[in-house]
Amino acid sequence: MKILILGAGAVGGYWGARLHQSGADVTFLLREKRAEKVRKDGLVVKSPKGDAVVPAKVVTKGSEGGPYDIVVLACKAYDLDSAMDSIAPAVGSGTTIVPMLNGHAHFATLDAKFGAAKVAGGLARISGMLGPNGEILHSGASGVSFGERDGKPARASLVELEAACKKAGIEGGINANINQDLWDKWIMLATIAGMCSAMRGTVGDIMETEDGAAIVLEMLDESSKVATAEGHAPSDKVLAGLKTMLTAKGSKAVASILGDMEKSGAAEGKQIVGDMLGRARKHGIAAPNLRFAYAHLQTYEARRARGGLK
């Protein structure tokens, strides 16, 4: 099986590096600058599960080496349009696209471009970030989930991808209810991204305030009501786990969106928080905390657009 991964950041880079180490046929589709770095120095991984320098296969055009059996999109949600253009030449009649983007809005766009039958559901729970020299700083969790969005049994290529993941020590694999898993992650993301970006701190920092825990739980409740209205209510077990995680005193957990903002970079505010708010309004659900958080993120983007962050 031939796997193409667009992106070599914390998610795509770590996942692809481990697949490569286990013998999978993995190629990375990268921008010229990143490709040159990886060709020269290898894909550098620093992880509690073992450091590695992987001599990864790299291309800068989707037309090179394809078509592929699996194409993984491991980019930011705001890069979706350019990502689709990049992978289009790599997609053949038997290709399965596995997007690992945050939120849900990307599915409609991908379906319109490639056809719903080609697009599986996917999400990553891989903790890490890129270091100053482009190295992948993996910090713990290393799980992925993927599956058929229509609830049918997984196609052969996903079964083979799951086997490759297990061989590589990547947790997770096929989830027969990937849609629920996507919603469970999204309500967590909308809450932590909205709060960490607005409060400019970690979960632990927010818990040091008088009303931080209460506001976090209010935002989680707003997002959970949206998921319920969309037919994907989180289970009591999932909600209990999220409440514990999102209100843990001293926690260093933080949304990656805060790091993007602190670097004056683009942020996934529209895809993570804005889309959740839009769905709340569609269903007539009051969401004052999501409303405030998204207005804050929009203000950041407006200021960034006029160069006011420099």
Which run of H or E residues covers position 185?
helix 178-199
Which of the following is catalytic: 185, 225, 282, 310? 185
Q: Residue 289 in contact with residue 215, Cβ under 8 Å?
A: yes
Task: Dig out the tokens for 12 from the structure.
Answer: 């795509």
Q: What are phi and psi of 76, to 5 degrees?
A: -75, 150
Residue 302 region by backbone torsions, left for phi larger than 0, else alpha for psi between -120 and 50, else beta: alpha
Measured CA to CA, the distance from residue 60 to residue 82 in angstroms comes to 13
Measured CA to CA, the distance from residue 186 to residue 192 in angstroms comes to 10
Q: Is 225 a catalytic residue?
A: no
Nearest 5°: the CA angle 187, 193, 198 is 130
Nearest 5°: the CA angle 83, 87, 88 is 115
Measured CA to CA, the distance from residue 204 to residue 212 in angstroms comes to 10
Q: Residue 19 in contact with residue 168, Cβ under 8 Å?
A: yes
In terms of Cα–Cα distance, which of 176, 191, 170 is closest to 276?
A: 191
Q: In 224-262, which positions are buried (b, 16+ CB within 10 angstroms) versus exposed (e)?
A: bbbbeeeebbbeeebbeebbeebbeeebeebbbbbebbe
Q: So which residues are the catalytic ones?
A: 185
